Amino acid sequence: MDIDYTQEERQFQQQVRGFLDENLPRGNEMWSKRDAWFKSLQAQGGWDVPKWPAEFGGPGWTPVQHYIWDRETAGRSLPPVLPFGQVMLAPILMRYGSKEQQERFLPDIRANKVNWCQGYSEPGAGSDLASLKTRAVLSEDGSKYVVNGTKIWTTMGHMAQWMFCLTRTSSEGPKQEGITFLLINMKTPGITVKPIFTLGGSHHVNQVFFDNVEVPVENRVGEEGKGWTYAKGLLQHERSGIAGISRTLTALSKLKKNARSVRVGDRTLLDDSSYKRKLAETEIELRALEFAELRSLADAQQTGEPGTASSILKLKGTELQQRVQELTIEAAGPYALNAGFKEAGPKFSKMGMMMYLNGRAATVYGGCSEVQKDVIAKRVLGIKD
């Protein structure tokens, strides 16, 4: 594996750096200049939808170009995009959606106009997602599905106008085969969204209830009963994204600076040998994981898919995210208990506890760590049950 950038890739890296220096809004301009930022990205040739292929208006980047973009943007604050539509649903619509669905939904997703949420998990169907029970029954005249059941842990469900949802249309045969992928307008009568408050005290996940919710048949993506195939392919991309290696490298370098600002006697925390060892161990593992990511990229250059290595990246990537959050709490000491409410202690302690508490979920969502270990054992190492 050659891990050096080619001449073209180095040029691309310079182009990205120059573009960010010139166009990225800073500080308070992040919101006021948000639209101008997206326009400037679009003018670059689809950089506003980096993951989209050229035929749908994206830049058609290679996996290495994506990697360079991720590395160059990880240390900077970018105006946020709504991930569920652009990153998760759009590729499914591009591949399996009808022309009408693509024309109806993709422009608004691209313009960040519509919030989507992901309705996959249910009570009793998380890791074992194919056991989902939310039922969709086709009406006699074949014009609509009637949906009953519940979805849980629906991130941003309370703010979403639409949900992409896995429903059960048949209980015959293997459980993966009776699943149908529906697009559901969240304003449809019969939908109730109830908040779930998480460990960090914030409200971003919900339970969603469906009581005789009518969904027009034209909102079904692809064929009835094939939803599992459509949803499954995307999980590998979701897992690679959650791994967040570039972001953790940036977080680690910020942590080193912060540790230097904490006094321990007449020295700083960064001089403390025990703390320094923990930082070094974390950095070594992160750098090793970075090489695993590069290896996965080299594979993806050949196959176009991240492959099962995405499970290794997700497993280790989320563990290391949590490690950095734990070391941040350790650096903040008792001030970590501020949790953002009181003006005392070092600045970084304000967000530290929130990041730490919310970060606990990273080894659960997108497939829990134990499930990733199963995937690695079976599909990477070839170990049979």
Ligand X SMILES: Cc1cc2nc3c(=O)[nH]c(=O)nc-3n(C[C@H](O)[C@H](O)[C@H](O)COP(=O)(O)OP(=O)(O)OC[C@H]3O[C@@H](n4cnc5c(N)ncnc54)[C@H](O)[C@@H]3O)c2cc1C
Site residues, ligand X (CB under 6 A): 117-121, 126-127, 153-155, 205, 361, 364-365, 367-368, 370-371, 374
Q: 57 or 83: whose CB is closer to ligand X?
A: 83
Residue nearest to ligand X (CB): 126
Cα 257 from Cα 262, distance rounded (Å): 9
Contact between 10 and 301 under an 8 Å Cβ cutoff? The reply is: no
Q: 114 or 364: whose CB is closer to ligand X?
A: 364
Contact between 165 and 89 under an 8 Å Cβ cutoff? The reply is: no
Least distance to ligand X, CB of residue 153, Å: 3
Q: 89 or 279: whose CB is closer to ligand X?
A: 89
Least distance to ligand X, CB of residue 113, Å: 20
Cα 169 from Cα 178, distance rounded (Å): 5
Q: 13 or 118: whose CB is closer to ligand X?
A: 118
Least distance to ligand X, CB of residue 369, Å: 7
Least distance to ligand X, CB of residue 229, Å: 17
**Angle at alpha carbon of residue 92, lines to 90 and 95, rounded to 5°:** 110
Q: 68 or 231: whose CB is closer to ligand X?
A: 231
Cα 369 from Cα 149, distance rounded (Å): 27
Least distance to ligand X, CB of residue 280, Å: 29
Cα 297 from Cα 62, distance rounded (Å): 9
Distances (CA, A) of 43 to 8, 47, 58, 174: 20, 8, 11, 47
Q: 118 or 328: whose CB is closer to ligand X?
A: 118
Kind and range of the H or E run holding 216: strand 203-216
Q: 114 or 368: whose CB is closer to ligand X?
A: 368
Least distance to ligand X, CB of residue 78, Å: 21
Helix axes 245-260, 63-74, angle to 10 degrees: 20
Residues 6+ apart with CB under 8 A from 382: none
Residues 6+ apart with CB under 8 A from 16: 68, 69, 72, 73
Least distance to ligand X, CB of residue 158, Å: 12
